[in-house]
Each structure stands twice: as C-alpha cells, then as structure tokens.
Amino acid sequence: MTIGTGRSDNLAELLRASGEVLTRRWVELAAEPLRGRLSVAELERELADLYAAILAGLDTGDRDPNSDAFAEVRALLSEMSRRRARAGFTPSETAVGVFTLKRAMFELLDQAEIAGGLAEVVAFSLLLDAFGLWTFETFAKAREEVIDEQAEQLLELTTPVVKLWDGVLAVPLVGTLDSARTQVVMEKLLESLVTTGAAHAIIDITGVLAVDTQVAQHLLKTVMAARLMGAECTISGIRPHIAQTIVGLGIEFGDITTKASLADALRHALRRAGVDLVAGDRRG
C-alpha cells in the first residue's frame, strides 16, 4: 500500500468533494467540440468512469502516469480512443476529452484554495498532459488496425470463392497476384472445401497478368494441400506467356491437372464427380 504524502490528499479531496460540479462542467466542455456526434449520456458515462479511476489513482499518492496506480485510467483511455478512432473522430476530438478536465479544474481552482498549492496543481496538470498524449498514441494504433482490417477486407472482396455446381468450387483470380494475396486465396479456398464439402476446386487464372516463382509455388502448394484434404484441384486458364514463365522458372506442375479454360475444367470436375453431360434434345 502506498501512503499519501498528506499534501496530495488535499487536491484529491477537493476533486472528490467537487466531483459532481467538476464532472458536469467537464462533460459540458468535452461535448462541445463533438457537436452531438456522441450522446451526452454516453459521454457522461465515459467521463464518470474515468474520473473515478483518476481519483482512485490520486489516492495512492502516486503522480507517475505510467505507474500501476493509473493502470485503470490508461486502460479506460485506450478503450475510449479506440472507440473514437473506429467512429471516425479526429485525434484532437479524442484528446480533448482529457484536456477539458484540466480546464474544468482550473475554473474550479479559481474559486477554491488548496493546501498543496501550486506544486500539486502542476503535478496534476502534467499527469493529465501525459494522459492526453496516451490517447494520441492509442488512437494512432487503433487507426492502423482499422486500415489493416480494411486492406484485408478488400483482399477478401477481390477473391471470391464461388460455387459452380454441387461439389465444385472455383476461384477466378484477376489482376496481379502477389505472394500475400495468393496465400490468402489458398487458405480461403481450402476453408471453403471444408465448409461446403466440395471435393473439386478450380483455380482459374485467365485474368492473371503475371506470375512469379513464389506465386506459382503457392498455387502448386494449394493443389497439394487440397489433395491431402481429399479434394481435387484443377488450374485453368493458363495464358501462353504464363505457361512459358512457369516452364522457364523450372517449376514442375507434375501430375497436377491443368485445363485451357474454366469450361474445360468444369467439364473435367463434373465427369470426376460422376455427373453426365448430355447435349439437350431441342424441340420446337
């Protein structure tokens, strides 16, 4: 247990005694720049929790923003910044939640005397500055997370796994294949085999402009992994220049089935699945 220095109790006491007034003013100041994009009730709840945590920290007599005494404060601030970042607020709109407490406190100090004097106020003020910076940092981290997630979602969107027939899946790949994207496709396709129970998959690369060694290796590994899982995988739509690249790179496609077009690959898969294709008898 940490024992308070005695003097620090006074600021903590003042903050506790005027808690209600102070938080009301704090919410008022903090709500202003947010212009109604966050409900007052929500803000009140956030700031009340934060206030309680700050008081609890001050009670220990500790004034180091990185100490255990303020772990709860830091956790609450991280959560708050994360929510703000996700909701599209700016970093200043987020940090203002902390800095406005300082303003509310200064207004209050105008009307009250505390025994600790200037030193206490400065220490508390520095503490709040540190917390303000903390929100910046967690805000930035949260934004980066959001960007990463969006990049991943985009990747997912550009590589759909489609069902062509009962038990036959296909991934039409379009554009430039890099190693990371190929890997994502490979995992997604294999997952889809499990979820749909499809025993045939077609990777169609008609729309692919170029492949390098790594990408070709990933495609090969996908086919081999599918085989280990008990599914058959065909690669279709290899363009002439890509075929030349593959041969030029010395990559062995071995006994992997390749077909000129997606239609050929589908016909092959259906035959393997025991589906008979019969030309329709057209009448009238």
Interface with other proteins (CB under 8 A)? 141, 144, 180, 183, 186-187, 190-191, 193-194, 197, 199, 221, 224-231
Best CA proximity match to 253, nearest among 241, 243, 262: 243
Closer of 230 and 280 to other proteins (Cβ): 230
Distance CA(75)–CA(70), nearest Å, equals: 9
Closer of 221 and 241 to other proteins (Cβ): 221
On whether the CB atoms of residues 178 and 170 are closer than 8 A, the answer is no
Cβ 190 to other proteins shortest distance, Å: 4
Closer of 8 and 222 to other proteins (Cβ): 222
Cβ 88 to other proteins shortest distance, Å: 21
Cβ 143 to other proteins shortest distance, Å: 12
Cβ 22 to other proteins shortest distance, Å: 33
- 102: Cβ contacts below 8 Å, ≥ 6 apart: 125, 128, 129
Backbone angles phi, psi at 14, to 5 degrees: -60, -45
Closer of 86 and 221 to other proteins (Cβ): 221
Q: Give residue 104's identity as a one-letter amino acid code.
A: A
Closer of 58 and 270 to other proteins (Cβ): 270
Closer of 121 and 251 to other proteins (Cβ): 251
Tokens of 176: 């430039």
Closer of 183 and 206 to other proteins (Cβ): 183
Cβ 225 to other proteins shortest distance, Å: 4
- Give per-residue burial for 270-280: e unless 16+ CB within 10 Å, then b: beeeeeeeeee
**19 HSE (CA, 13 A, CB side):** 15
| DSSP assignment letter at 57 | H
DSSP 3-state assignment of 20?
A: helix
Cβ 191 to other proteins shortest distance, Å: 5
Distance CA(207)–CA(229), nearest Å, equals: 27
Q: How many Cβ atoms are within 10 Å of 253's Cβ, its own excluded?
A: 16
DSSP 116-142: THHHHHHHHHHHHHHHHHHHHHHHHHH
